[in-house]
C-alpha cells in the first residue's frame, strides 16, 4: 500500500521562507517543518531565546491543530539552537510551555542540536516535530 502525502500551510503562522509546506501527512503521521519564533505577519517575536522558543512551539501547536492533532500527539521534536549559550534559556522556555500541556518532565523525545546559523541571522531557535494523529 502506498501512502500519498498531503501538504498544507495553515493560517495562524507566518508563510514559509520559500516554496515548501509547513506540514505534510502520510497516513496518520504528521511532519511539521522547522518552526521559528515568527509571527503570522513574518516578524520575529523577540530577540531572546525564550520568546522565540515559545512562539515556535505555538506555531507547531497551531499547525498540528489545523490537522486534527494536538501538541500532546507529538512523538518527537528536533530543536536547533545557534549557540550553546542558549541551552539553559531554551530548557526554561520548554519547561514553561509544556507545564500546561504535559505532566512535569514527561515530554516527547527531543534531539537538541547546536548549529552555525539558521535561515535568518535574527533567528536563534528552530523546532520541528513528528506527531501521530489519533483517529476518532
Q: Global pTM?
A: 0.87
- Cα(61)–Cα(120) distance, integer angstroms: 22
Alpha helix segments (H runs only) across the chain? 49-66, 87-98
Distance CA 26, CA 3 (A): 6
Quick: pLDDT tens for 97-124. Answer: 988 877 777 888 999 999 999 999 999 9
For residue 57, give the C-alpha cell. Answer: 512551539
Query: Which domains does the chain show, CATH number per domain?
Result: 6-132 (3.30.1330.40)
3-class state of residue 124 by DSSP: coil
Convert the pLDDT of each residue in 8-56 to its tens digit. 566 677 666 654 677 888 889 999 999 999 998 889 999 999 999 999 9
The three cell numbers of residue 56 are: 515556535
For residues 48 and 135, the answer to whether their CB atoms sit within 8 Å is no
Burial of 82 (0-12, 13-18, 19+ CB in 10 A): middle
* Averaged confidence pLDDT in the chain: 87
Nearest-angstrom CA–CA distance, 96 and 17? 28
Amino acid at each position: 500500500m502506498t501512502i500519498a502525502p498531503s501538504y498544507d500551510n495553515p493560517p495562524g503562522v507566518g508563510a514559509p521562507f520559500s516554496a515548501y509546506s509547513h506540514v505534510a501527512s502520510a497516513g496518520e503521521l504528521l511532519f511539521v517543518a522547522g518552526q521559528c519564533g515568527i509571527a503570522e505577519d513574518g516578524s520575529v517575536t523577540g530577540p531572546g531565546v525564550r520568546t522565540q522558543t515559545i512562539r515556535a512551539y505555538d506555531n507547531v501547536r497551531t499547525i498540528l491543530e489545523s490537522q486534527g492533532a494536538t501538541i500532546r500527539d507529538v512523538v518527537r521534536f528536533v530543536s536547533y539552537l545557534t549557540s550553546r549559550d542558549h541551552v539553559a534559556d531554551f530548557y526554561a522556555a520548554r519547561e514553561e510551555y509544556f507545564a500546561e500541556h504535559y505532566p512535569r518532565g514527561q515530554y516527547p523525545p527531543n534531539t537538541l542540536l547546536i548549529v552555525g546559523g539558521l535561515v535568518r541571522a535574527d533567528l536563534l531557535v528552530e523546532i520541528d516535530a513528528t506527531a501521530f494523529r489519533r483517529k476518532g
